[in-house]
Amino acid sequence: MKKPELLVTPHSIQHVKELLVAGADAFIIGEQKFGLRLAGEFSLEQVEEATNIIHEAGKKVYVAMNAIFHNDRVELLAPYIKELDRIGVDAIVFGDPAVVIARREAASTTPLHWDAETISTNWFQANYWGKRGAKRAYLARELSMEEVIEIKENAEVEIEVLVHGMTCMFQSKRSLLGNYFLFQDKAMEVENRKQAKNMFLHDKERENKYPIYEDLNGTHIFSPNDTCLIDELNELFEAEVDTFKFDSVLCSDAYAVAVTACYRQAIDAYMESEDDYDDVKQELLEKIEEIQPELRPLDTGFYFKETVY
């Protein structure tokens, strides 16, 4: 059975080192100019430094270029890709076809990973981009477990899924912090509005707090719960899904390290035997529950259709 890759999103160079110790197999890094909703900001110089550290450990590094690009940034794509080629990163994560064209212009051979957020919902799309250079497809977080398995069975590319972290439920290219639910004629409160990555949208009717921040790519509003599949990985293992992603955006460094270590233990246990995983999965869930922020309940996302935002 193929061992799935454990993919994480570090916050800094120091965090990369800590996550390597915790057992991460691969990392997504980048900068806001090119990547969406990054856990940390990495300049080209930091991408090069991180790549050297990660490769020295025998692990992989992927750079996010999955933003939706306007004309003013398109001309920057090919030069950036050439720099990534020089550094020797293992893949470029993209959603916009402009990246495919820019990669061709740059005469780059760096592999592509397709990440089109909510529209990555069938194997026809995955295989379409596979024929245009993509080695992997990152599936939408809104899919059920059955849909994920069906896509994996029919896909000609590697399949990546979210196993832990937030789901982005809304993005706008504009600054919309004070207006999110105005169409319902309900005034919503925005907490910590001046702190771009420490804000919450309060929905008093549902007693939910939605994490929200703005960056160069606009306004992003996240789910009130964190997806957690630490005790529900059996079907993904059996389907031989290629990559399990833990997205640590808006998480603390220590939380990300601890959760990474739990998933490392879960994957290694299953590779020994399914019984070994079944013996430890409840304990691992309890470990995560102990450190889980009070405002961020855990659920299984849309995998079993229990989550409605």
Copy the structure tokens of residue 4: 């799935």
For residues 269 and 237, the answer to whether their CB atoms sit within 8 Å is no
Q: Assess whether 160 and 191 both reside in one domain.
A: no
CATH number of the domain within which 248 lies: 3.20.20.70
- pTM (two decimals): 0.86
In a domain, 215, yes or no: yes
66 and 197 belong to one structural domain:
no
Residue 308 is assigned to a structural domain of this protein: no
pLDDT values of the chain reduced to their tens digit, one per residue, 309 residues: 889 999 999 999 999 999 999 999 999 999 989 998 788 999 999 999 999 999 999 999 999 999 889 898 999 999 999 999 999 999 999 999 999 999 999 999 999 999 987 789 999 999 999 999 999 999 998 899 999 999 999 999 999 999 998 876 566 655 555 454 444 455 444 444 444 455 665 555 555 666 666 666 666 666 768 889 999 999 999 999 999 999 998 789 999 999 999 999 999 999 999 999 999 999 999 999 999 988 788 989 888 875 555
- Sort residue 98 into left (φ over 0), alpha (ψ -120 to 50) or beta: alpha
What is residue 292's predicted lDDT score, i.e. its pLDDT? Answer: 93
Q: Are both 295 and 200 inside the same structural domain?
A: no
19 and 71 together in one domain? yes
Place of tokens 């899919």: 143
DSSP code of 302? T
Task: Choose one of 185, 201, 220: the last residue of a domain.
Answer: 220
How far is residue 200 CA from its own chain's centroid? 20
**pLDDT attached to residue 192:** 44
- Among residues 202, 220, 238, the one where a domain terminates is 220
Do 130 and 114 share a structural domain? yes
Number of domains in the chain: 2
In this structure, the answer to whether residues 192 and 206 fall within a common structural domain is yes
Residues 237 and 196 in one domain: no
Domain assignment present for residue 257? The answer is yes
Give domain status of residue 10, yes or no: yes
Q: What is the pLDDT of residue 191?
A: 46
The reply to whether 309 falls in a domain is no
Residue 307 within a domain: no
Q: Answer yes or no: is 269 within a domain.
A: yes
pLDDT at position 176: 53
Tell me which of 190, 220, 250 is where a domain ends: 220
Looking at residue 37, what is its pLDDT?
Answer: 77
Residues 199, 112 share a domain:
no
Both 143 and 257 in a single domain? yes
Identify whether 71 is part of a domain.
yes
Q: 183 lies in which domain range? A: 171-220
| 210 and 274 co-located in one domain | no
Residue 143 and residue 176 in one domain? no
Query: How far, in Å, are 24, 84, 102, 103, 244 from residue 61 at the CA level?
Result: 11, 11, 20, 18, 15
Q: Which among 37, 57, 56, 47 is positioned nearest to 13, based on CA atoms?
A: 47
